[in-house]
Structure formats: structure tokens, C-alpha cells
A and B are shown apart, each in its own frame.
Chain A
Amino acid sequence: MDKEVRLDCVYVPSRDIVARDIEGELIIVPLVSGIGDLEDELFTLNETGRAIWDRLDGKKKLSEIVSELCEEFEGDEKEIESDVLGLTNELLKRKIVVKTSTE
């Protein structure tokens, strides 16, 4: 299985988690066994993570997400790309997102 996160791939939240928006705070609750390291833990994202998460819609490639974020936040492209790849990698490792397609 390809575990490497790629900019030309599309990722989507896994069906094995429940993402809840509680008073503006994103809480990721594992639904099945094997999500994350400890099963009695929940996960949350910081502001940067949340901006990326909201775009992981199963339609946009990571490269498109990078472009969108660059435009919106007027940040350094390399830095934003590194953030997007970093977060997606962490989420993929924990099976919180899954890859949907590869170009």
C-alpha cells in the first residue's frame, strides 16, 4: 500500500472516524479500533490544521489545496506545502484520512 503522501493525490476523511464541530472546535473521534495510538483519546487540530482539514473533501488534490491556501493566506508556498504534506501524512499514518485517487 502506498503510504507516501503526494501532492497529486486526493485525500478524504476516513469513514472510520467521526469529525465533530463543537462550538467551533474540531474534534476527531475514532469510530473503529486501530485509529491513533490510544483508543480512549480524541484528536483536535490547531488553526492551520483546521484550514487544511476543511479542504480535504475527497475532490481537491493536495496541490490544489496548497494553491488555495497560498491565495487565501498569502503565505510562503514552500512553507504551506510543507504544512499540507506534514498534516496529511500524520492523518494518514493514524488512518484518519484515506487516499481516494492518484493521477
Chain B
Amino acid sequence: MVDVLLFAELQEKAGSEKLSIEADGVTVKELKKQLLSTYDLDNINHAMIAVNEEYANEATVLAKGDVVAFIPPVSGG
């Protein structure tokens, strides 16, 4: 299982800030597809990806226990 963290509008759309998903050994791209089939998260394709608190790309292969965060365009400051 991997933990999926959602923020801002993605969190509101999913109605959850953290999901536990069976995605060991799959790419972030495949994980996204899986999420899109369950949740109304169209904007996930505009989000950056972080795996274990570092920015990563869609091709990253996930391992058990990874924490994947979908980071919508940031607006701090």
C-alpha cells in the first residue's frame, strides 16, 4: 500500500486528505489513472508530484510504504 496525500482543491474534491491505495510496483501515472476512476479529480493532471517529500515525475515506480503527494499549483507567500 502507498499513502496518497491530497491538498487544496484536490482534497476538497476527494473529500479526504489521505488515501491508502494498493499501488506497490506501479508508476505514479498508473496510480493517477486508478484515482481518476474512483474520484472526480480532473485537476490532478495539473498537479506536481512528490514522492517521499521530493518532487518526482509520473514515471516514478512506487514501492510499499511510499508517500505520494499531489501538489496543485502552489500559492504561498
A and B: interacting chains: no
Which residues in A have some Cβ–Cβ distance to B below 8 Å?
none
